[in-house]
Amino acid sequence: MAAVRELCKSLVQPILAVVIGLLTGAVVIAAVGESVIGTYQEMWKGAFGSFYFFTSTLARATPIMLIALGLALAFRAGVFNMGAEGQMVLGAVSAALVAIYLPGPGVVKMLAGLVAGIAAGGLWSLLAGYMEAKFRIPLLISTLLFNYIAVLFASYLVTEPFRDRSGSAALAQTVMLDKSVWLPKLFAGMSVHAGFFFAIAAALILFWVIRYTPFGYEVKMLGQNPFFARYGGINQIKVMLAGMFASGGLAGLAGTVEVLGSHYRFVDGALTVPNFAWTGMMATLLAGSHPIGIVFTSILLAAFQTGAMGVERNTEVPLELASVIQAVLILFISARFSYDWWKKRKAKGGETHGAA
């Protein structure tokens, strides 16, 4: 009974935030003179209206979920990794190039692509972690700056040396991957692909790691009280670096499955325009960095976005409705969970600390 009550209590705030988000959305819809009910109906239809739309929502949730899981690990360690976007794009472009240019049978190429994607994202993130550990350069800023560098570098790779010059010249992209490298679709003709399974598996693994392994305990210690962690003999830097690598690696995997499972090539801007990275951060915040919760919040946020596409197709309301609702949602969520955290801080009388 107590467990159920605890669960309900932890659900109240997110649900409240969703309601406030939807209400704000309603105000915005009304402001452009559209029917609120009709718009939300279209939104629901666009996200869950048919099996096809439902699988599209799941496909969109896949990278969001992977990024969110990575960020959850970093947040739990008290590290603000703001660089998911760069880590994802760098992972995606590395995976695409390896999968295209590595000689060998399809399965080998696919696996190599996955490994390359994870490694590229992880190492890029690790570099920021290393700079924090060694030179005290704040991660918050370095990871943000790294985004621009990674995205621009990937963009350079596909506009100059690795550009597909055979087809339409309008898009900067690599050549198509060989069919044998593609991640299988879960249902024929639907957009959700095997990457979704990776995301679910990652959520379960992360849940297990956080709950039952010494590393999970160290991460938790470090995030909740770095001073105690230090006295407890935890190698802070090692845990932070491992957390950064895992978090970047998951972001890299997010980009990789997008390339191998849905675009089948690296297209410049295809990963940055849908704002996967920041949506992933919101999914994490909404779920309070809980891996299983992230599965649901990622699907929820993806549903807002695919739903908003349905809205745009069928009404005059612009797509950006989704980002307005999401931003309001996160504002109210942040008020909740940092409030608890602040109270704890205050009680201890400790100095302020930059992470949630």
Partner 1 sequence: MELLDWSLISSTIRMVTPILLAALGGALCARVGIFNVGLEGLVLVGAFSAIVGNHFTGSLFLAVLFAALVCVLFSWLFAYMTIGLRANEIVVGVAINFLALGLTTFALRAIFGVKGAFYDKEMAGLPKLDIPVIGDIPVLGDIFSGHSVLVYLAFLAAILLYLFFYRTVAGFRVLAVGLNPVAARSLGLKVTGLQVLAISMCGVLCGLAGAQLSLGQVTMFTEGMTAGRGFIALVAMMMGQSHPLGILASSFLFGLMDALSIRLQGFSLPTQFTSMLPYLLTIVAMFFVKEKSRAGSNQQSSR
Rounded to an integer, what distance in angstroms lies between the CA atom of residue 251 and that of residue 123? 11
Contacts of residue 67, Cβ cutoff 8 Å, sequence gap at least 6: 84, 88, 250, 251, 254, 276, 277, 279, 280, 281, 283
Closer residue to partner 1 in complex, CB, 103/161 = 161
- C-alpha of 124 from chain center: 16
Backbone angles phi, psi at 156, to 5 degrees: -60, -45
With contact defined as beta carbons under 8 Å apart, do 196 and 60 qualify?
Answer: no
Closer residue to partner 1 in complex, CB, 35/50 = 35
Closer residue to partner 1 in complex, CB, 298/326 = 326
Minimum CB separation of residue 71 from partner 1 in Å reads 11
Minimum CB separation of residue 135 from partner 1 in Å reads 6
- C-alpha of 316 from chain center: 29
Minimum CB separation of residue 344 from partner 1 in Å reads 12
Rounded to an integer, what distance in angstroms lies between the CA atom of residue 196 and that of residue 65? 9
**Chain positions contacting partner 1, by CB under 8 A:** 28, 31-32, 78-80, 82, 131-132, 135-142, 144-146, 148-149, 152-153, 155-156, 159-160, 226, 240, 278, 281-282, 285, 318, 320-324, 326-328, 330-331, 334-335, 337-339, 341-342, 352-356
Minimum CB separation of residue 280 from partner 1 in Å reads 12
Minimum CB separation of residue 256 from partner 1 in Å reads 22
Closer residue to partner 1 in complex, CB, 199/322 = 322
Closer residue to partner 1 in complex, CB, 183/321 = 321
Closer residue to partner 1 in complex, CB, 314/323 = 323
Minimum CB separation of residue 34 from partner 1 in Å reads 10
With contact defined as beta carbons under 8 Å apart, do 89 and 153 qualify?
Answer: no
Closer residue to partner 1 in complex, CB, 142/297 = 142
CA angle centred on 311, ends 309 and 315, rounded to 5°: 130
**CB half-sphere exposure, 328, CA atoms < 13 A:** 20
With contact defined as beta carbons under 8 Å apart, do 74 and 356 qualify?
Answer: no
Taking each helix axis from N to C terminus, what angle separates 2-31 and 321-348, rounded to the nearest 10 degrees? 140
E-strand ranges in 85-172 read none
Minimum CB separation of residue 230 from partner 1 in Å reads 11
